[in-house]
Amino acid sequence: MNTTLVRPEEVADRLAAVQQKVADAAGRSGRPASAVRLVVVTKGVPPPVMQAVLDAGATDLGENRAQELLAKAPELAALSGAFPNPRRPRWHFIGRLQRNKVASLAPLVDLWQSVDRLELGQTIARRAPGAAVLAEVNVADDPAKAGVAPDDAPALVDGLRSAGLAVDGLMTIPAAGRDPRPAFAALAELAERLGLLEVSMGMSDDYEVAVEEGATIVRVGRAIFGERRGHTGPK
């Protein structure tokens, strides 16, 4: 497994710094800090360091690889049980997902953030009826990114609801190398138009901008854990 460059004892300060920046950005958008949920992305992070971030007050963890979540969740549960106040994190699945992984993930995932097609949603509904999901939208029209086109989002949302899922909101990843603000603004506007409350957007490089544009969920890893060896993605 990849390791982090940050020692467990440094995690609390880095988490607090990110939380403060989220709070400041929320204030600039006229909202309280409590309006934004911080999902700590733990790709490549070993369970002892994940436990440190939970002990520092994090409540939501995000993984984008099925095999990594399945391997680390029981290890983290064993570590948490050794503390006076064990914490079960709220797990978010945030990556591209194959339908054949859904059954094994269903007992763990609290929010499926990257549902980009009806067939995937139907599989989730069979394995986890009533599950909470976000519809992924490719607002930047970037061929390298997953998600439906904005014009197709209403049909996907309706289809997921018809399958019996709770569609909490929308999620996006902006195009690399472009100003993310227009994409973030477009997703927030689309969510409002569809009557959806959750808007998941923003990662380590742009989460403050995302909050300013209306994000209710941000997904931050590198700003808390440092650059992970073997991982150069924008988390």
pLDDT at res. 5: 62
Sequence-distant (6+) residues with CB within 8 A of 151 are: none
pTM listed for this prediction: 0.91
Looking at domain 8-79+87-95+111-225, does it have CATH number 3.20.20.10?
Answer: yes
pLDDT digits (tens, 9 = 90+) for 20-43: 999 999 999 999 999 999 999 999
The beta-carbon contacts of 9-15 under 8 Å, at least 24 apart in sequence, are 9/52, 11/49, 11/52, 11/53, 11/56, 11/224, 11/225, 12/52, 12/53, 12/55, 12/56, 12/57, 14/223, 14/224, 14/225, 14/226, 15/40, 15/53, 15/56, 15/57, 15/58, 15/224
Mean pLDDT value across residues 210-232 = 85
pLDDT at res. 179: 93
Distance CA 151, CA 133 (A): 19
pLDDT digits (tens, 9 = 90+) for 142-196: 788 889 999 999 999 999 999 999 999 999 998 888 899 999 999 999 999 999 9
Asked if 153 and 192 touch (Cβ cutoff 8 Å), the reply is no
Asked if 26 and 36 touch (Cβ cutoff 8 Å), the reply is yes
235 confidence band (pLDDT: 50, 70, 90): very low
> Is residue 3 pLDDT above 60, yes or no?
no
> Is residue 2 pLDDT above 50, yes or no?
no
Angle at 150 between CA 144 and CA 155, to 5 degrees: 115
Asked if 165 and 133 touch (Cβ cutoff 8 Å), the reply is yes
